[in-house]
């Protein structure tokens, strides 16, 4: 079932608030590198929200960074509750979003194949020609 306009608006607000809190307030040493909120999915009753995070250029394993974010979950939840104009703030759960990493890997593979074909075509073009 497609998300309602209200769900999308709440998800957008949560995404903005969580991103701001992660940038400004989370000082856990386990959280390093670039952490971005890629998307938020809110249930139809607005009671739960899945926050998907992308982790890039960090020195720690993604699971460790996610644990650091989860440990700051109460603070993040409190900020969302304070800044969201709803009677009940959705309960947040944090998940790794591997889509950006997979997308980068696919683009790299496409680039490699294009380079291989380019070198094959350059070699094939010179075969039929004779030197003057």
CATH number for region 5-98? 3.30.300.20
Between the CA of residue 88 and those of 8, 18, 91, 116, 117, what are the distances in Å?
16, 16, 9, 56, 57
Nearest to 89 by CA among 103, 75, 102, 104: 75
Six-digit token string for 25: 């307030």
What are the pLDDT tens digits along the chain (132 aa)? 577 999 999 999 999 999 999 888 777 777 777 888 999 999 999 999 999 998 877 778 888 888 888 888 899 999 999 999 888 889 999 998 877 777 888 988 999 888 888 877 776 555 555 555
């Amino acid at each position: 079932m497609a998300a309602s306009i209200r769900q999308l608006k709440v998800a957008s607000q949560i995404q903005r608030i969580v991103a701001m809190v992660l940038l400004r307030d989370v000082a856990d040493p386990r959280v390093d590198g670039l952490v971005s909120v890629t998307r938020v999915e809110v249930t139809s009753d607005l009671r739960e929200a899945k926050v998907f995070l992308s982790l890039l250029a960090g020195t720690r394993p993604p699971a460790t960074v996610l644990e650091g974010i989860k440990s700051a979950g109460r603070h993040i939840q409190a900020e969302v509750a304070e800044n969201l104009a709803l009677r009940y703030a959705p309960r947040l759960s944090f998940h790794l979003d591997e889509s950006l990493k997979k997308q980068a890997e696919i683009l790299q593979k496409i680039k490699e194949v294009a380079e291989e074909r380019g070198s094959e075509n350059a070699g094939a073009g010179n075969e039929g020609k004779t030197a003057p």
